[in-house]
Chains A and B, each alone.
Chain A
Amino acid sequence: MATEALTLSGVDAYYGDSHVLHDVSFALQPGRLLGLLGRNGAGKTTCMSTIVGILKPRRGDIRLFGESVAGLAPDVIARKGIGLVPQGRRTFRSLTVRENLVVAAQPPRHGEAAWTLDRVFALFPRLKERQAQLAGSLSGGEQQMLAIGRALMGNPRVLLMDEPSEGLAPQIVAEVGRTIDRLKAEGQSIVLVEQNVKLTLNLADEVVIINTGRVVFQGSARELEGNEAVISQHLGVF
C-alpha cells in the first residue's frame, strides 16, 4: 500500500484543446514539504487546480494516502483532506474574519489533532484581534494569514499553498515562512508552490521544477541549491 501523502502519476491536463500539463509525476511524503517551482505560466497553479479537482486530468492518477482522487468533484476532494491556500488569497471579503474561518471548518480525519478557531487564533494572534472585522478590510499580510487559517480549519491531510509570498512585504514574507516552518514541524504534509526560490529552498525537503507543463527537475532542496545551472536554466534567477 502506498505510504505517500500525495502522488501524481503521469498526469495530463488540458484547457479546452490546449495541452497544459504533460505527464506530470511527483510524490509528497507524509509530514514533508515539497516545493513546486517554476516561472510564470509554467503550470504550477494548473497543477494545483488539477489536484483539487477544479481541472479534471485527462490521463494519469492522483492519490491521497493511496486513495485515488483523480476526477472527483472539488468538494469531495476537499472533504477527503486536500486543503488549498489559493493564489491571491481569495478570502470572502464580505464575511468577517471569524466567519471566514468557521465556514471552512471540517472535522479532523484519522485521529489527527484538530484545527479549531482557538488553535488558528493562537497561530495568528492578529486574526483574533480582527475577528469581527470584514476580511476585505484586512491588509495583504493579514489576508494571507486568514487564507492559511481558513485552509487549516478544514483539517487537511495535505495542504497546498499557492504562492503565499506573492505581493507581500519582505518582513511579512518572513513571517509567512516561519508559519509554514511551524506547520511542517507539527507534521503537516505541504506542497508549497512558489516563485520565491530562496523561501522555497529554506523550507522544502524536496523540490520539483515545472517548465511549460513538464517536470524538468526532481530532487532534494540541497541538491537544487548546489545546482546553479538548473536554477538559471529553468527559473532564470540566482
Chain B
Amino acid sequence: MSGNRFRSVGVAIALVLLATLPLWVGNSYYINVASQILLFAVFALALNVLVGYAGLVSLGHAGLFAIAGYAAALMLQAGYGHLAADTAAVVITLAASAIFAVLALRSTGIGFLMITLALGQIIWGIAYRWASLTNGDNGINVATRPAPFGINLTGAPGFYFATLLVFLLALASMAVFVRSPFGASLRGTRDQPLRMNALGYNVWLIRFFAVLFSGFWTAVSGLLFIYYNQFISPQVAALTTSAEILLMVISGGTATLLGPVVGAAIVVVMKNVVSAYIERWNLVLGVIFVLIISFMPDGLVPGSVRLWRWGWQTVRARLDGWISSPVEEHGR
C-alpha cells in the first residue's frame, strides 16, 4: 500500500471513529472528555502556527484565550445574543492579537517568549484584579449554550458534534495554510528570516499575519471552552494554561498537523481520566513528558512515524532475505 493510500485509509478510519464516538462510548462523561480533547486540540493547533511554523514560542496565548472567553461571557451577561457575543469576542481577540504582535514581534526567540509571557500575565492580572468588570476570582457564569440552526447543544453528544465540526474546520484550515504559499513563506521566515528578507518579503508582516491567524483559532477555542464549562475565571488566563498548551504542542510534535491533537489528548486524558485513579497524576504527566523529550525529542507524532518506518524497513529487509536466500542456495 502506498504512503498516500495508507494515509487516506487512516484519515477515513479516524473520521468514522470520531463521527460515531458518542455511539460506541455511550457514557456522557467520556463524550465530554472527547469534547475537551477536541477544543484543546483547536487551541494547540492555533499555538502550533507560531511555535511550529513561525518558530515563535508564545507563553501568553492563555491571555488571548481568556480575552475571547471573557468578551463573550460579558456580552452574554449584558443581554446580547450568542451570535453577536461570539462575533464581538473574535473581533476583540483579533485586535488583542494585533497588539500582542506589535509589541512581541519587536523581538524573536527568548525576547518574544518573555514579552508574550508578560502580556499574558497582564491579562491574568486584569481578570483577577479588575473585579468590577470580571467578577474577579468568582468568575462569570455563562447561562446558556447557543442553539445554531435550532440544534440543541446542551447535551454531551450535541456539544461533542459541534466541537468536532469546529475541530475539523480548524484542522482543514491548518492543512490548507501549511500547503499555501503563505505557509511556505512563514516556514521560510522561521528557517532563514534574513534570506526571506533578501527575497523581497516583509518578514515582520508575515509574522504579524501568522499571529492574527493563530489568534483567530485561539479565540474560537476560547469560545468552545466557555460554552463547554459555562463558566470562566482568571485561572483560564494563568501562566499554567499557556504552559500546558505549549507542552501539548511540543510533546505531540511541533510543525505537524497531528502533533498538537495527540498532545491535547495526552494532557486532557491525564487530567480527567488518570487523575481519578492516580492521586499524583501530575508526576505521571511529568514522567511522560520527560520520556517523550528524551526518546522522541521532535515529539510523539514525528517520533512514532520514524519508529514505524524503521520497523517496517527492518521487517521488509528480513522478508527479502528469507525470500532470496533459497534462490542463492539453489544457485550454489
List residues of chain A with CB under 8 Å of any chain B CB.
Answer: 52-54, 73-75, 78-79, 84, 86, 90, 92-95, 99, 102-104, 106, 150, 154
Contact = CB atoms under 8 A, between A and B. Distances in A.
A152 B4 CA distance: 32
A92 B185 CA distance: 10
Nearest to B192: A90
Contact of A75 (B184, B191, B197): B197
Contacts of B196: 103
A54 B196 CA distance: 12
Nearest to B190: A94
Given A94-B187, A94-B191, A95-B191, A52 B198 contact: yes
Contacts of B184: 95, 99, 102-103
Contacts of A99: 184, 187
B297 interface: no
Interface stretch (B113-121, B142-150, B199-207, B306-314): B199-207
B200 A79 contact: yes
A78 B188 CA distance: 16
A45 to B, nearest CB: 13
A74 B191 contact: no
Chain B CB within 10 A, most for which of A74, A86, A90: A74
7 contacts: A53-B198, A74-B197, A90-B192, A99-B187, A103-B199, A150-B199, A154-B199
A112 B107 CA distance: 39
Contact of B187 (A79, A86, A92): A92
Given A95-B184, A103-B185, A75 B192 contact: no
Contact of A95 (B187, B200, B201): B187
B253 to A, nearest CB: 13
B188 A74 contact: no
Contacts of B200: 75, 78-79, 106, 154
The 5 tightest CB contacts between A and B, nearest first, are A78-B200, A74-B197, A99-B184, A79-B200, A103-B184
Contacts of A106: 200
A47 to B, nearest CB: 14
Interface in B165-198: 181, 184-185, 187-188, 190-192, 194-198
A21 B184 CA distance: 35
A73 B199 CA distance: 11
Given A78-B199, A102-B181, A92 B194 contact: no
Nearest to B202: A75
Nearest to B53: A94
Given A92-B187, A94-B187, A95-B184, A104 B199 contact: yes
Contacts of A104: 199
Contacts of A94: 187, 190-191, 255
B202 to A, nearest CB: 5
A93 B191 contact: yes
Interface string B232-244: 0000000000000
A145 B197 CA distance: 20
Given A102-B184, A103-B185, A78 B191 contact: no
Contacts of B199: 75, 78, 103-104, 150, 154
B286 to A, nearest CB: 30
A154 B198 CA distance: 10
A73 B255 CA distance: 29
A93 B190 CA distance: 11
Contacts of B192: 90, 92
B187 A78 contact: no
Contacts of A102: 181, 184
Given A52-B198, A74-B197, A150-B199, 4 more contacts: A73-B197, A95-B187, A103-B196, A103-B199
Given A92-B192, A94-B255, A74 B198 contact: yes
Interface in B129-152: none
A75 B204 CA distance: 11
A1 B197 CA distance: 29
A54 B199 CA distance: 12
A73 B196 CA distance: 12
Which of B184, B197, B200, B202 has the most chain A CB atoms inside 10 A of its CB?
Answer: B200
Contacts of A84: 198
Contacts of B195: 86, 90, 92
A124 to B, nearest CB: 18
Q: Which of B184, B191, B197, B198 has the most CB of A within 10 A?
A: B198
A135 B64 CA distance: 35
